[in-house]
Structure 1
Amino acid sequence: MENLDDLRYPIGHFECPENISQTHISDWIETLETLPKRLENLVQHFSVEHLETPYRPGGWTVRQVVHHIADSHHHSYTRFKWALTEEQPLIKAYEEKDWSNLFDARTAPIQLSLDHIKALHAKLVYLLKGLSPENMKSFYIHPEGKVKVTVAENIGKYAWHSNHHYAHIKNLAKRMGW
């Protein structure tokens, strides 16, 4: 059995470069652009049993992970908009574990979230590709620790988040021989 920390963080924790380059931004946007198709290709043939399998002991099921990605990235899109349109906005955090235990996250067809992710990422990528270097410096304030998060950093966080949860599902499928 793999180490629990390796199962929880299969690609490690997000580490933001001290100096975010245009190459970082472009690579991260490409990750956001390709996630919907990569994710759908990965899970489209999963059975109900596969969808109800946790990616690690005590972890979310595949179904919950897919719905979590949609919920989390929906929040992120709003955070980008706040950072770009308001002066030092203090965002609202949400209880992701509680959201993932709601009825819809536990039972809804994953196609609902796959469709949402596809549309959301199309809008998000369109927005991000049109931003100026000055826009990249805009920021929001996260309530936990009152940390400033720039638009550029948030692009990296959500590219990492995309790959993080994709790896949860992909690694589970590999371990299970699906």
Structure 2
Amino acid sequence: METPTLSIEQLRFPLGRYKLPAVFQSVLIKESLTALTQLPGLLRDATAGLTQEQLDTPYRPGGWTVQQVVHHLADSHMNAYIRFKLALTEERPTIKPYDEAAWAHLADSKEALPEVSLQLLDSLHQRWVLLLQSLGFNEWHRTFVHPEGGEMFLFQTAGQYAWHGQHHLAHITSLRERMGW
């Protein structure tokens, strides 16, 4: 049976694009917390047994390598954790964006073994989920301001990063499936 050819859009967004919820929904918070709790282990499973050549394979033409994706998740989720802490301790802080593509091309993202970021994600997600589990309704409605994306509620941001982890996990798992790894 022949594998269907996927479009660049399907390769870029294997789960579709994130849909920002307009209102707080406790079920979405629970789903987000579950996804954030599970991500480090699922990512570890998805990268287990890959050779360096496989880790150096981009998940799509012009995309990042598997190794860069793992390190990007650590970079991105560290930034998200800090954004949450800022939003919880300051009124409507304006956060600093970063050039994630440039970060993905730095030596630590291209050369460090994924295990370094997997260990970081294990600890980071333990702390992040602990923090998120402590939030009440009012805290979920605290905000930060992204200079390009505008004001975001923490309940929206939690869902966005839960999706983000699953999105990049799907890059790796779908590549493995397509390549027969």
Counterpart in 1 of 2:65?
Answer: 61
1:27 match: secondary structure: helix
Partner Cα distance (1:32, 1:85) in 2: 22
Pairing 1:129–2:139 present: no
Q: In terms of mean alpha carbon deviation, does 43-52 or 14-23 score higher?
A: 14-23
Structure 1 segments, 4+ long, off by >6 Å, are none
1:30 match: secondary structure: helix
Counterpart in 2 of 1:163?
Answer: 166
Partner Cα distance (2:62, 2:37) in 1: 30
**In structure 2, which of residues 39, 52, 59 is the aligned counterpart of residue 48 of structure 1?**
52
Q: TM-score, normalised by structure 1?
A: 0.98
Partner Cα distance (1:139, 1:166) in 2: 27
Counterpart in 2 of 1:14?
Answer: 18
* Cα shift at 1:155: 0.3
Letter in 2 for 1:4: I
Partner Cα distance (2:35, 2:173) in 1: 16
1:148 match: secondary structure: strand
Aligned length: 177
Counterpart in 2 of 1:81?
Answer: 85
Pairing 1:4–2:5 present: no
Q: Which runs of 5+ in 1 are unaligned?
A: none
Partner Cα distance (1:29, 1:140) in 2: 20
Q: In terms of mean alpha carbon deviation, does 37-46 or 64-73 score higher?
A: 37-46
Partner Cα distance (2:22, 2:9) in 1: 25
Q: TM-score, normalised by structure 2?
A: 0.96
* Cα shift at 1:19: 2.1
Letter in 1 for 2:153: T
Partner Cα distance (1:45, 1:76) in 2: 29
Letter in 2 for 1:166: L
Counterpart in 2 of 1:107?
Answer: 111
Partner Cα distance (2:126, 2:167) in 1: 20
Q: CA-atom RMSD, angstroms?
A: 0.7
Counterpart in 2 of 1:33?
Answer: 37
Letter in 2 for 1:102: L
